[in-house]
Chain A
Amino acid sequence: MFKRNILSAFTAIMLLLAQHSLAEGGAVAFSQLGHLLDTPTETRLASGAPGPDYWQQRADYSITVRVDDEAQRIEGSETITYHNRSPHDLSYLWLQLDQNRYALGSDATLTQTTSSFENLSYGRVATMVEQERFDGGARIAFVRDERGTDLRYTVNKTMLRIDLPSPIKAGSSYTFSVGWSHNIVDATLIKARGGYEYFAADDNYIYEIAQWYPRMAAYTDYEGWQHKQFLGNGEFTLELGDYDLAITVPADHIVAATGELQNADEVLSPEQLERFNAAREPGGQRFIVTPDEARANESRRTAGEKTWRFRAENVRDVAFASSRKFIWDAQTVVNGERNVMAMSFYPNEAEPLWSQYSTPAIVHTMDVYSRYTFDYPYPVSISVNGPVGGMEYPMITFNKPRPYADGTYWDERQKSGDKTWERSKYGLISVIIHEVGHNYFPMIVNSDERQWTWMDEGLNSFLQFLAESEWEDDYPSRRGEPEKMVPYMISDRQVPIMTNSESIFQFGNNAYGKPATALNILRETIMGRELFDHAFREYAQRWKFKRPTPADFFRSMEDASAVDLDWFWRGWFYGTGHVDVGIESVKLYQIDSRNPDIEKPWQRAQEEERETGITRQRNEGIQTLVERNPELEDFYSNYDEYAVTPWDYAQYEALQEKLTERELALLSEKANFYAVTFVNKGGLVTPLPLRIEYADGESEELLIPAEIWRRDADRVTKVFVREREITSISFDPQRRTADANELDNHWPPRVTPSRFQLFKESEDPNPMRRYDEEQWKQPIQ
């Protein structure tokens, strides 16, 4: 196995002390973030916490809206009371008009590119046509002050500026009203976060209405007005406030909305009201509108309208859904000190999946997320099935997965062993966990998704993975495990996570998967669960109902854990490198004891172990000249170079007299020094989780911190001092670092089959069948 390398005691000590060579790469990888982060202020502290001067604006709304079920249009008015808590006087206000994304000739449509018309799908062609024809922009009917006087305003695409007669002084409030209307987009044709779905079979609609009213743009200490135009990807950030919401719909519609229903007795039938009140008590899941009632309601065309009233406190937005097709189930659970009503609204087309999984998924999400952050602070949490794939708003989420039109989902049409059925179920559960989870990030921890998608999508995808892991053993999560992120991280077109939302390439992997994976690695491999969970919870609680920036997150995680993570943020969030560490070499060193009684026999044994060279082997038996002529022999002809001589003893005694006791002890050290060289091929520095196996059959798990790369980020040599013989060393055997290439992770090297090879092997007959051709050709029943 090894040829022992002999060390002097001095060399051994130096080897232990200096296991790196100096190189610039390590210094760069571990340099502090410094100028990449915002300068700390008394508003945002160097610790990552909000400071004593922290401020944020607030906006309270009173909104009335009517849904026109004939024309698929809404008309509304709102009164906004804007609280200027900034230290600045404001001479104008900016509001978001996200609906103008759907205006004819909008930037979102004009800047959409298509590289080729070849192979264009139906969906994309239909979307193109619809976008050219559909006018979904907002019509502003009026903008007035509290006394009813018109205010001057300017619409700049998806932004509206109100010019004020006089500035709103710091610390004061201003009340004004806006009236507007817009056509509702067909969300089955145009990708949208809100819209309608039409059901031709029963001539009904489901409306999911979102980003629908003129909303106060955020005004912040770090960016001033957040009025980046809405192009479709970067969702939004808004001001927190209280909402009174009055939604007028056909009288036979069922409405779900952000907030607590204020007039259940006016809008529900007596039976529904009784069930609703019963469902408000903690207990099991129950129907408020049953599937049969919903089906009967589909054909009903009750005359007149009803107005559903909701109140929501301390939210940054409101959304709602309305349809006469809705089944409604609910379960009230205790979360912290609050009763929370988890509710699901869905058509019969969503059955049988939805009544079984939607509300339990809401409850599960709140349970898990609250443990890692804070108690859920709202009275309701809602999941609605409709045309929107998956989207979140405070207290209400839109989730699309649905079974086939015949009411079956996959298992009923699959052969035994085909597990495609799982996808309906897990697709639904996962999207609900994700969207309900967004209540925590960014609805409550109010980060700015128009600027940094990862701050909510990434953190949320990480918690989604934890929640999925607690749903059942071996939950088939699509994101979270480090190895799932490898194909993206080694691909040749990437941008850093710290990229603006509208410029991200490979969006899902960049903003969802990679940050989720990064946090998983932080938790499991770098910080450990205890330190990570404490720091993550601290961040969430510091910034609950406040506006964190990336620097606040990075700093909070370090501040609460005493772990310097600048290298990690630099590599994972500001860079595009990947993890690929290989074991380049392993060398064994042992200390030369200088004792001739030990060293000479060992040298002899080494020589004897060495196989004789081919020439000497073939010359065996041939009589040499010296053998034929003994007179040619001298002392050196039969000299035993491994024999211990008096001179050897004298040297050894002289050495002993010169050494200290400590040095003498080191000379008799029996340890093996294994010098293992790791090479960093991917560029991203990483901890080194190692498994060391010994000749006695035992093994050892070892986690070397990433700081091993701090002087040289390209190549390091680590010495392992062990009395036992090491038989193998493996880097990252549990696949916890997102290492890109397993082939070089082992000493001695191991062959790792490819995915295709594994498939081929699985297709081969089992070993028992391989002995008999008739058997291996016979299909398995």
Chain B
Amino acid sequence: MKLTSVWVAALLGLLWAAQGSAHPAHHSYAEVEWSAEGTLDVALRVIPEDLEAALSRRAGTTVVLVNTPVVREQLASYLAQHFVLQPAGHAAAPEVLGRDVAYGESWIYFSIAADREQILSLRNTVLMDHQEGQINRVRLLWASSAATLVFTEREPERQLGVIAE
């Protein structure tokens, strides 16, 4: 990533800080499950201010999480970069299906067509490009109840494990 592109984006960072606080909390949470069609279905809970700020910085203009084709495309593009199944070639780009945005909780819904016979890893850097200290959690609904993986800047990629039927 070139630093110049970072600086160009400087003028756009005027939105909200996530949840005003002396200790801002930046985190996301996703529930993932395999569908009968073989897609990995994802419900991703985000702090909407953070996601909008990140999308705005990429787009070069203010992005609000409304349900339009343009925003869906921006979201899909962002997720294709930050919510990635690996190894490469065994998963398609995310298809954004919808969102449910409100102050208390905001959810993004998307699917990723993937080769479920593979042992896949997930690289989850959602919003790590936006805020220091971002922590992402992913709950594997097919696994035991406590199977929630934590993704940090230090460890952004984790194995999803053997896919259970």
Contacts and interface: CB of A to CB of B under 8 A. Distances in A.
Interface of A: 114-126, 193, 233, 235, 389-392, 399-401, 404-405, 410, 413-415, 418-420, 422-427, 430-431, 434-435, 453, 457, 476-478, 487-488, 490-493, 506-509, 511-513, 578, 580, 681-682, 740-741, 743, 754-756, 759-760, 763
Given A425-B103, A509-B25, A756-B41, 13 more contacts: A119-B129, A125-B6, A193-B22, A391-B22, A404-B62, A420-B64, A423-B16, A431-B19, A487-B29, A487-B139, A491-B149, A513-B25, A754-B43
Given A400-B20, A492-B148, A759 B66 contact: no
Interface residues of B, number: 65
Interface in B43-57: 43, 45, 48-49, 54, 57
A308 B57 CA distance: 41
Given A506-B135, A754-B141, A235 B13 contact: no
Interface string B105-149: 101010000000000000001001111110101010100011011
B16 A487 contact: no
Contact of B101 (A118, A401, A419, A426): A419
A760 B1 CA distance: 37
A476 B83 CA distance: 27
B145 A115 contact: no
B74 to A, nearest CB: 15
Contact of A123 (B13, B97, B128): B13
A121 B57 contact: yes
B150 interface: yes
The CB with the most chain A CB atoms within 10 A, among B10, B103, B146, is that of B103
Contacts of A401: 16, 20
Given A114-B153, A122-B10, A580-B146, A431 B20 contact: yes
6 contacts: A114-B153, A427-B20, A478-B105, A487-B148, A507-B133, A755-B31
Contact of A405 (B14, B23, B145): B14
B145 A682 contact: yes
A415 B66 contact: yes
Contacts of A506: 27, 135, 150
A433 to B, nearest CB: 11
Contacts of B102: 419-420, 422-423, 476
Contacts of A476: 102-105
B65 interface: yes
A35 to B, nearest CB: 29
Contacts of A423: 16, 48-49, 102-103
Nearest to B35: A756
B21 A453 contact: no
Contacts, number: 185
Contacts of A490: 139, 145-146, 148
B146 A740 contact: yes
B100 interface: yes
Contact of B23 (A115, A119, A507): A507
Contacts of B23: 233, 453, 457, 507-508, 511-512
Given A755-B43, A759-B97, A235 B66 contact: no
B49 A120 contact: no
Contact of B43 (A405, A580, A756): A756
B17 interface: yes
A246 to B, nearest CB: 27
A430 B16 CA distance: 14
Contact of B66 (A118, A389, A400, A414): A414
B104 A418 contact: no
Given A418-B67, A578-B146, A756-B43, A124 B101 contact: no
B70 interface: no
The CB with the most chain B CB atoms within 10 A, among A117, A118, A392, A477, is that of A118
Contact of B100 (A115, A121, A193, A759): A759
B103 to A, nearest CB: 4
B25 A392 contact: no
Given A682-B146, A756-B41, A389 B153 contact: no
Contacts of A431: 19-21
A42 B118 CA distance: 65
A489 to B, nearest CB: 9
B3 interface: yes
A749 to B, nearest CB: 14
A223 B101 CA distance: 47
B24 interface: yes
Contacts of B41: 756
Contacts of B22: 193, 235, 389-392
B162 interface: no
B24 to A, nearest CB: 6
Interface string B56-82: 010000101111000000000000000
Contacts of A422: 102-103
A491 B57 contact: no
Contact of B131 (A121, A492, A580, A756): A121
Nearest to A744: B145
B10 A126 contact: yes
Contact of A400 (B17, B26, B31, B57): B17
Given A418-B101, A453-B23, A741 B145 contact: yes
Contacts of A763: 97-98
Contacts of A681: 145-146
A478 B9 CA distance: 30
Contacts of A126: 10
Contact of A124 (B48, B66, B107, B132): B132
Nearest to A429: B103
A119 B1 contact: yes
Contacts of B128: 119
Contacts of B146: 490, 492, 578, 580, 681-682, 740
A596 B22 CA distance: 76
A420 B101 contact: yes
A454 to B, nearest CB: 11
B42 interface: yes
Contacts of B129: 119-121
Contacts of B67: 415, 418
Contacts of B3: 125
A490 B135 CA distance: 14
Nearest to A577: B146
Contact of B130 (A121, A125, A430): A121
B44 to A, nearest CB: 10
A477 B102 CA distance: 11
A117 B2 CA distance: 11
Given A116-B153, A415-B66, A427-B19, A122 B132 contact: no
Contact of B1 (A120, A391, A508): A120
A197 to B, nearest CB: 11
B1 A118 contact: yes
A578 B49 CA distance: 29
A684 to B, nearest CB: 11
